[in-house]
Structure 1
């Protein structure tokens, strides 16, 4: 994973050969753990998201969302954006790739943010049964900006989404 993270951060070619060389292992060793380069990259992206985008607990949904989305924006460096665009393209063109992306990456990120929404439901800030729709709205906005570059992924975006999902009382 460390070798994959390093290569992703450098923005260069991320191949099984490059990962194996950087990690000091054989490609066969990698293929014992991951069936493809996509699998390694997806696991590395999910791990990176878990380590760089903490789950805040500010006591309010608006505060939690703003903090979570600000961290998300901060972690979207050019190399990561490039990889995320590549996996979105793969998902758009291949149903099997889309399923793997949902399983290895998207579901982990949705589950993380769902914990924030579950706390908000406990506090009465949202209706628990609306969580999937709220997740779609939040991540839909993120991916729309990421893929089509219609606006920046920055703190203003993060704060605007938080305010739209959890307006001030």
Structure 2
């Protein structure tokens, strides 16, 4: 609809708190490990305000090296930090799958500016979910991760779910 229907400039503030609890799963043959994590989170701000919860499962080697690959928020728990491999055991990696649900009270990108009048989406959905899957591999001090996300529709007239991927490279010192 043109530039008249864009968000106006506004400082963005978002305070996010998240707690993740990891649980060991069964060990499999060939040294394969499994684990899963449950998380709860909340975000408060003029950009987004929501509560979230979800689960993540991982299978692979050297799972203690990280809590998961970095993600674009809002998303499942994860971090770009990892413990690098040792000279005796330099390689590790895992596959993961997870779900995340958010009860959204406010989303600036759909509700418009907080401090100014402007366009907004009238039929925003209050509950949004993500299904995420991917792989993370590290060799010594370098981690490469790919995440694929399938996000449910955020408003009623949206033309299907959003699907996107993220590739990240992390280097530990």
Q: Which has the larger share of helix?
A: 1
* Higher strand proportion: 2
- Structure with bigger gyration radius: 2
Q: Using structure 2 for the length normalisation, give the TM-score.
A: 0.26
Higher relative contact order (CA 8 A, sep 6+): 1
